[in-house]
């Protein structure tokens, strides 16, 4: 019988050859805390202990993932509404913890309450970091390190299939984001306003490059896109662009789990992970209200 794997979005569990398995919210939270602790970010200690995960399902609770700034960047709720977690929810949990950690470190460094809004550099950069965290959860190295003792996830064949399946999911989500960005480019008249930097053509080239090899992006073709990313008025446009260049600037973290060819590493080096965590904390602290991200990356006009 041919092995089949699918994620069921309504029930939020994994089905593998007819067998279902999933994580409890408590298991997922412990895995997330262990991962960030290995990065040198202890969620049980100040300043991160005020991050409040709301993982319990209840009637009329809003579904979806949310990191909400409640009290000057120091009290943040992570909102989930499912009784059981699959890798999708686990990756979402890491993504939202990333937002919360970013808010706190940036607020500490700048003395201000939170990072800036969606349509500026810091926020799409953070969404790019979130995408990188989503990618890491589905890597074989992450599963072998953090899920090896969890029933159902520990079998190597399941890890292999999950990792391979995620590549298709990654492509589908990114294509939708880029298509939304193209629509926004037309709505905001970006194309006609910048004929010398045709963002629509750059995004179309990005689709072509990106999905011939997911991590084999030709970054030279993004030179004309990047300057617009810092002042792009569209919500989805910032997501689409941020996902592409944030991962490159945080390659120290991604490299712990993925090799230079984009293939998953099967083991994770603890020292490399801790060093990568230092780089992540440094970047989070810098991304405050006044940080000139464009200048720091020396983007060529």
Q: Which residue has the higher pLDDT, 70 or 82?
A: 82
pLDDT for res 220? 39
Helices first, then strands: H and E counts in the chain: 12, 6
pLDDT (tens digit, 9 = 90+) per residue, 228-246?
Answer: 443 444 455 556 655 555 5
Position 116 pLDDT exceeds 60: no
- What DSSP designation does 23 have? B
| β pairing state of 67-69 and 51-54 | unpaired
Q: Which helix (H) or strand (E) holds 99?
A: helix 87-110
pLDDT for res 33? 95
Q: Mean of the pLDDT values across residues 140-163?
A: 76
CB 256 within 8 A of CB 279: no
pLDDT for res 83? 75
Position 270 pLDDT exceeds 80: yes
Position 276 pLDDT exceeds 60: yes
Rg (alpha carbons) of the chain, rounded to whole number: 19
pLDDT for res 296? 41
Band of pLDDT at residue 69, cut at 50, 70 and 90: low
pLDDT (tens digit, 9 = 90+) per residue, 180-202?
Answer: 666 665 665 555 455 555 555 55
Position 35 pLDDT exceeds 80: yes
In the block, tokens 């520990």 appear at: 154
Report how far residue 144's alpha carbon sits from residue 91's, in angstroms, rounded to the nearest whole number.
15
In the block, tokens 């992540």 appear at: 280
In the block, tokens 């120091």 appear at: 74
pLDDT for res 2? 33
In the block, tokens 């030179």 appear at: 223
Q: Considering only CA atoms, which of 86, 174, 84 is closest in space to residue 130?
A: 174
Band of pLDDT at residue 227, cut at 50, 70 and 90: very low
Position 42 pLDDT exceeds 90: yes
Write out the DSSP string of 235-285.
HHHHHHHHHHHHHHHTHHHHTTTB-TTSPBPSS--HHHHHHHHHHHHHHHH
Report how far residue 114's alpha carbon sits from residue 100's, in angstroms, rounded to the nearest whole number.
10
- Domain borders along the chain are 5-296
Largest CA distance in the chain: 60
Position 34 pLDDT exceeds 60: yes
């Amino acid at each position: 019988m041919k092995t089949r794997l699918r994620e069921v979005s309504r029930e939020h569990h994994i089905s593998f050859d007819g067998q279902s398995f999933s994580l409890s919210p408590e298991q997922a939270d412990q895995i997330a805390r262990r991962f960030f602790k290995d990065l040198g970010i202890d969620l049980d200690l100040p300043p991160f202990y005020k991050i409040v995960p709301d993982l319990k399902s209840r009637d009329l609770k809003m579904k979806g993932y949310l990191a909400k700034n409640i009290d000057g960047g120091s009290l943040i709720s992570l909102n989930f509404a499912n009784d059981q977690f699959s890798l999708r929810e686990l990756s979402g949990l890491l993504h939202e913890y990333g937002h919360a950690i970013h808010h706190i470190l940036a607020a500490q460094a700048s003395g201000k309450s939170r990072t800036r809004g969606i349509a500026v550099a810091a926020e799409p950069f953070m969404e790019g970091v979130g995408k990188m965290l989503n990618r890491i959860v589905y890597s074989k190295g992450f599963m072998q390190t953090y899920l090896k003792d969890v029933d159902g996830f520990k079998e190597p064949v399941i890890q292999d299939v999950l990792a391979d399946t995620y590549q298709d999911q990654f492509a589908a989500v990114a294509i939708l984001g880029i298509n939304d960005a193209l629509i926004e480019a037309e709505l905001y008249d970006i194309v006609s306003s910048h004929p010398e930097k045709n963002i629509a053509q750059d995004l179309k080239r990005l689709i072509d490059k990106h999905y011939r090899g997911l991590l084999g992006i030709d970054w030279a073709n993004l030179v004309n896109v990047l300057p617009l990313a810092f002042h792009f008025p569209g919500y989805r446009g910032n997501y689409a662009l941020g996902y592409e260049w944030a991962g490159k600037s945080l390659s120290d973290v991604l490299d712990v789990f993925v090799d230079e060819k984009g293939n998953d590493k099967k083991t994770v080096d603890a020292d490399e992970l801790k060093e990568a965590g230092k780089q992540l904390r440094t970047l989070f602290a810098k991304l405050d209200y006044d940080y000139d991200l464009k200048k720091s990356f020396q983007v060529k006009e």
